[in-house]
Structure 1
Amino acid sequence: MQALTETQVRSVLVNASDDERDRLALPLNFPLVEWDHLDFFAWRDPRTRGRGYLVAELDGAPAGVVLRAASGSAHARPAMCNLCHTMQPGDQVALFTARKSGNAGERGDSIGTYICSDLSCHENVRLAAPLAPNEVRASVDRRIDGTRHRIESFVERVATTE
């Protein structure tokens, strides 16, 4: 992924209001991010509970979305992240929603999916051994490619203004 500055990260959020861009808090380790090793950039807002961000490259240009985690109790059963396809204990997967951009977002349209609660999909797909006894793992390269594709598709669906 291409290296981004703080200003660039704020500007590429397709579904963010100006206030949300101003309030955005980058992760504390932002100056140390190794962009060459990232397929996408995702983090939970350290100052705003329940908010997260996801930035991917669409057709070579960065695009990102503001995510909101659903409030409520944790799941008792294991669940699968819809982005990295990793089985996790139920309390480590959360429903995240993203308001669509443009007129659709102004009407209140949003898209939701279950994602690793800490947005650690980038690391999870690189684990070679299964996390759960009944989990079958594809090759790491295929998992990385699949996750990147699903994240790009999610960001693209949020960016669609219709």
Structure 2
Amino acid sequence: MQQLSAQKIRSSFVNASRSEVAKLNLPKDFDSLNWENMELLGWRDPKMPLRGYLVFPSDDGKVTAVLLRAPEAGARKNRSVLCELCRAVHAKNDVFLWVARRAGQSGRDGNTVGTLICADFDCNSNVRVEPPKNEINPDPAAVVLDRIDGLKDRTRQFLERVQGR
């Protein structure tokens, strides 16, 4: 992923008002992010923990960002779930049903789209965990590359749903 400026991120939101974008807090470590090992940028707002952000650059260089909302504490289920983006299985508190208001008039009318995503947006590192070499996975590096491609595809599909495509 190419390094993105704060201004580029703020201008790429498709489902947030100008005031919501103006209030967003970038990740604490924004200036030291390892952009080379990222397919997407996701973070929870440190001042508003139920708010999250997902930023994804497409292959053509266009950047799309969405504002997400996490469930209230009482709405979480007590079971292991699968992150829909990285497909990593986590314990019950590590994946949330993040909800995004749809882009455009549909979102202003109250329509939303949700998906299960790692609570702290650890998808980039999850897909890079190499499986042990065995008969099923003779080339762990190839498995990681496939996971990275899958993460990109599923993120793109989620963002298309938010945009009503």
The TM-score normalised by the length of structure 1 is 0.89
Equivalent residue runs for 1:1-162 within 5 Å: 1-58=1-58, 59-73=60-74, 74-129=76-131, 139-160=143-164
Cα distance, 1:100 vs structure 2: 0.7
Judge conservation of contact 1:126–1:144 (CA < 8 Å) in 2.
Answer: yes
Aligned counterparts of 1:33 and 1:91: Cα–Cα separation in 2 = 25
Aligned counterparts of 1:152 and 1:33: Cα–Cα separation in 2 = 22
- 1:49 match: secondary structure: coil
Structure 1 gaps of 5+ residues are 131-135
Aligned counterparts of 2:21 and 2:6: Cα–Cα separation in 1 = 10
Q: What whole-Å deviation, never above 9, does each CA across 1:54-111 have from its counterpart, x for those lacking one?
A: 1112332111100100113343221111111110001111110000111110111110
- The residue type paired with residue 98 of structure 1 is A
* More divergent stretch after superposition (30-39 vs 142-151): 30-39
Aligned to 1:133: none
Alpha-carbon RMSD across the aligned residues, in angstroms, is: 1.9
Judge conservation of contact 2:37–2:124 (CA < 8 Å) in 1.
Answer: no
Cα distance, 1:139 vs structure 2: 1.0
- 1:146 match: secondary structure: helix
- The residue type paired with residue 13 of structure 2 is L
Which structure would you say has the larger Rg?
2
Q: How many residues align?
A: 156
Cα distance, 1:148 vs structure 2: 0.9
**How many percent identity over aligned positions?**
40
Judge conservation of contact 1:57–1:152 (CA < 8 Å) in 2.
Answer: no
Which runs of structure 1 show a deviation greater than 6 angstroms over 4 or more consecutive aligned residues?
A: none
Aligned counterparts of 2:78 and 2:37: Cα–Cα separation in 1 = 34
Cα distance, 1:8 vs structure 2: 1.1
Aligned counterparts of 1:30 and 1:143: Cα–Cα separation in 2 = 25
The TM-score normalised by the length of structure 2 is 0.87
